[in-house]
Structure 1
Amino acid sequence: MSAHPLVPLSPPSEIGPFHIRPASEDDLPALVRLDTELFPDFAYPYFVLRQFLDLYQDRLLVLDDGSSLHGYALSALSADGRTSWILGLGVAERLRGRGLARRLMQETLRRLPADGVHEVWLTVEPANTAAITLYHSLGFTRQGARKDYFGPGHDRLLLALRH
């Protein structure tokens, strides 16, 4: 029997000293700090991350070493439940290149079929070649580009993973 196409190799939730787990309310201050570090121009305000936690707690995964958060992935379901959007993915700059973003994405994708998801969408900055390479390696394909997607001068590529 073949694996569900949205499920790359299932990673363990333990990655060396790191653990991938759903975020908790206690994580909010660290999550806000991390998001601001990762995306200074587009960081989610505290109140938005608070509401994401309330709405998507099982889909807001954090990379934790027991004392600090070092990354996160956030996905959300469409109204019909068949499509998911990746709303955020990031790993602290000092830890990049270790496969941690891949593991966060794999864990996110591993969880989605249980919700009936048949496709996953995301946007990425056209100049972010590392992220684009990661997404392509996970099976995402380019679906187009959107000029000014996040406002004037902030273009995005649209990628999707379907089965």
Structure 2
Amino acid sequence: MSIRSAHEGDLPEILDLDRKAFPDDPYPYFVLRQYFDGYSDRILVLDDGKHLHGYVLFVTTSDGSVCWVLSLAISTERRGRGLGRRLMLEVMRQSRQERVHEVRLTVEPANTAAIMLYESLGLSAEDGVRRDYFGPGEDRLLMSLKL
């Protein structure tokens, strides 16, 4: 399985991955479309040659100092096999290569599997849970790693 930048034709599969990973709050198609149009090189996919099994969406602040991981999704049937780790390691590799100083992300506080993955990669939640981060009742754990 290879990691590559997303192509326009991948958008339906990325949308499907996102809907299955985040059934309560997936990205609308138009948002993924706009991210693709603006940051196609910042959407990496896991491709087995037939299907996509994961994606990560990340952006870098305009001053180049911080990389924000906006979304990471792995197909439900492939979870627990290190695919999320592979995508995150590639984001971190590219960030180091671009001399980014820090990687940040937010995660649902109850998503223990994701939190364990991020902690195993060195990210920490120094600021703890941010209440109402995405609006009322939408708390997030802010995690970061200095590179």
Q: Which of the five TM-score ranges fits, normalised by the shorter chain?
A: over 0.9
Residue 111 (structure 1) aligns with: 94
Q: Deviations over 1:108-134 (max 9, x none)?
A: 111112322110110011111111111
Residue 14 (structure 1) aligns with: none
Distance 2:146 2:17 in 1: 30
Paired AA for residue 113 in structure 1 = R
Question: Among residues 37, 42, 47, which one is paired with 1:59 in the alignment?
Answer: 42
Map 1:78-89 to 2 at 5 A. 78-89=61-72
Q: Which has the higher contact order (CA 8 A, sep 6+)?
A: 1
Distance 2:97 2:33 in 1: 24
Q: Deviations over 1:48-75 (max 9, x none)?
A: 1111112221210011111111110111
Distance 1:107 1:65 in 2: 17
Residue 20 (structure 2) aligns with: 37
Paired AA for residue 162 in structure 1 = K
Paired AA for residue 110 in structure 1 = R
Q: Deviations over 1:73-120 (max 9, x none)?
A: 111011211111000011011111111110111111111123221101
**How large is the Cα RMSD of the aligned pairs?**
1.1
TM-score by length of 1: 0.85
SS across alignment from 1:98: coil
Q: Which runs of 5+ in 1 are unaligned?
A: 1-17
Is 1:125 matched with 2:108? Answer: yes
Question: Among residues 119, 134, 143, which one is paired with 1:150 in the alignment?
Answer: 134
TM-score by length of 2: 0.94
Superposition misfits of 4+ residues, deviation over 3 angstroms: none
Distance 1:47 1:72 in 2: 17
Is 1:47 matched with 2:30? Answer: yes
What is the number of residues matched between the two proteins?
146
Q: Equivalent pairs: percent with the same residue?
A: 57
Residue 82 (structure 2) aligns with: 99
Residue 11 (structure 1) aligns with: none
SS across alignment from 2:125: strand
Q: Which runs of 5+ in 2 are unaligned?
A: none
